[in-house]
Amino acid sequence: MNWDVVLRQESLAMYGEGIVTTLTILFGSLAIGAVLALIFALMLTSRSEILKRIVGAYTFVIRGTPLLLQVYMIYYGLGQLEWIQARWDDVWPWTHFKEPFFCAMMAFSLNTAAYTAEMLAGAIRETHAGEIEAAQAFGMSREQVIRRVVLPSAMRRTWPAYSNEVVMMLQSTSLASAVPGLLDVTAAASRIYSDFYLPFEAYLFAAAIYLVMTFCLIGTFKLAERHFLAHLAPRKH
């Protein structure tokens, strides 16, 4: 085994750039996806059958197809359409479709939005009737009940499942290496492999980086879970 190549300054700098790209895609897609998920969850639990069917079809398609294909469809599909390429020099938002980072971010955001929306919608539907009745007894309108009671309660109950979604999204960011010109952790390992033919060392070091990032994420969610879900913990007698 030859670790000198992997641990030299140029290789570590490449991995460092890959870590920044990976974390930027992760947190950027989670932020965008969270906003979209909240909107989609409210649509899924609304009284409008049309909205339910539209969003339901979207989440069905996204959750029923591989994320890698979604990345390909956006970068090689949408990004290569002639009418988009004819506008991507001067017409917003088509100007971003020639950027690999934007295409990857869009794919990951739409993917996590679908999964998170279904989790949140399920938690909203399972909100205890007593909470809603108590809020209505205080004279709250339907919008106030949703904003002050239903959503906070649903978000707290969704938190453990959402932590798994975040960890899965971290692992899924490795698929960004399939987009040409995008240097994430996996792409950095692939470059070292192609340049020096050190597949075991390059990918093992990348795996260690993902493991450390996963450990940090899980620890952060555990601390947040103790804070936000302390009232659900078993009582000590």
> 209: closest CA among 16, 1, 3, 13?
16
> 107: closest CA among 130, 129, 74, 62?
74
Per-residue pLDDT tens for 172-182? 999 999 888 89
Whether this model's pTM surpasses 0.85: yes
| Architecture field, domain 3-231 | Orthogonal Bundle (1.10)
Per-residue pLDDT tens for 81-110? 777 777 777 777 777 777 889 889 999 999
Q: Any idea which of 55-64, 142-151, 167-176, 211-220 has the lowest mean pLDDT?
A: 142-151
* Rounded-to-integer distance, Cα 167 and Cα 26, Å: 10
What is the per-residue DSSP string for 11-71? HHHHHHHHHHHHHHHHHHHHHHHHHHHHHHHHHHTSS-HHHHHHHHHHHHHHHTS-HHHHH
What is the per-residue DSSP string for 170-197? HHHGGGGGGSTT---HHHHHHHHHHHH-
Residue with tokens 């906070």: 152
Per-residue pLDDT tens for 7-52? 899 999 999 999 999 999 999 999 999 999 999 999 999 989 999 9
Dihedral sign for Cα atoms in the order 132, 136, 138, 140 = positive
Query: Do residues 28 and 105 touch, judged by C-beta distance below 8 A?
Result: yes
- What's the token pair of residue 59? 């989440």
Q: How far is CA 214 from CA 26, 83, 138, 209, 234, in A?
A: 12, 40, 43, 9, 27
Cis amide leading into 234 (omega within 30): no
